[in-house]
Homo-oligomer: A and B are copies of this chain.
Amino acid sequence: MSALAPSDIAEIEGQGDSAPAIGSSPDALSDRQREVLDVTLELLIENAAALTMIAVARRANCSKETLYKWFGDRDGLLAATVRYQASKVRVEPFEAETIDQTKLTDVLEGFARGLLSILTSDMSVALNRLAVSQAEAKSGAPLGQIVLQNGRFSTGPRLKPAIEAGMRAGVLRPLDAEEAFRDFYGLAVRDTQIRILLGDDLQLSPKDIEAEARRATAQFFTLYAASAA
């Protein structure tokens, strides 16, 4: 079975035992496999430099051979780990319904809060460091895209409908939702994420995050509130 294509986990799934053969689902991980990926995340957060195949195997009480069988190679394990973590953070999109100034404020503040909470978490920092350091390699699986999906693109589409609803409701002036979203991102995150990634010991308490979220939201309204009213 050594003929498998490394770093392409899609087809390895075929040989899974207990994993139900769900054809359409992109990932079909067994409980045991999820267990391994949790261990990988654990090690990654503890010390990414010590994240070696043997280390994963030891802590997960599995063999390296199984690791290679399931995930192809090291990059495959990493990609599966990142994707697995991303799959755990799925959120439901925003439902338009009634929107007004107060409601939109709540949505924006909640979004900024969630974003800052995620980006400052150990998990996010570890995953982003990993993805950044592997971003230039020509590996077939761009971890960076997955991380972006998780940290930005998965939250962006959730927020943009709210912005557009606010615009239609006359709360916000006409705008480009994508640009407005990026502005809000900048107002909320500023240099926080890059500083943390670079090792700056900048930590935000929940109270700080709350304050940042409020400030960013207020500033966003200053930029984009319907001027007429």
A interface vs B, CB < 8 Å? 47-49, 126, 128-129, 131-133, 135-137, 142, 144-145, 147-148, 151-152, 182-183, 185-191, 193-195, 197-200, 219, 222-223
Shortest CB distance A7–B (Å): 15
Q: How many copies does the complex hold?
A: 2
Complex: how many Å from CA A149 to CA B4? 46
Instruction: Decide if the interface of chain A is mainly helix, strand, loop or mixed.
Output: helix
Shortest CB distance A223–B (Å): 6
Q: Which of A49, A132, A137 has the most CB of B within 10 A?
A: A132
Sample of 12 A–B contacts (CB below 8 Å): A48-B136, A129-B133, A131-B199, A133-B133, A148-B198, A152-B195, A185-B191, A186-B187, A193-B194, A194-B194, A197-B197, A219-B223
Complex: how many Å from CA A113 to CA B151? 26
Complex: how many Å from CA A144 to CA B132? 14
Among B126, B152, B223, the residue within 8 A (CB) of A223 is: B223
Q: Is the CB of A136 within 8 A of B198?
A: no
A199 and B142 contact, Cβ closer than 8 Å, known pairs A182-B190, A190-B186, A194-B194: yes
Q: Is the CB of B145 within 8 A of A199?
A: yes
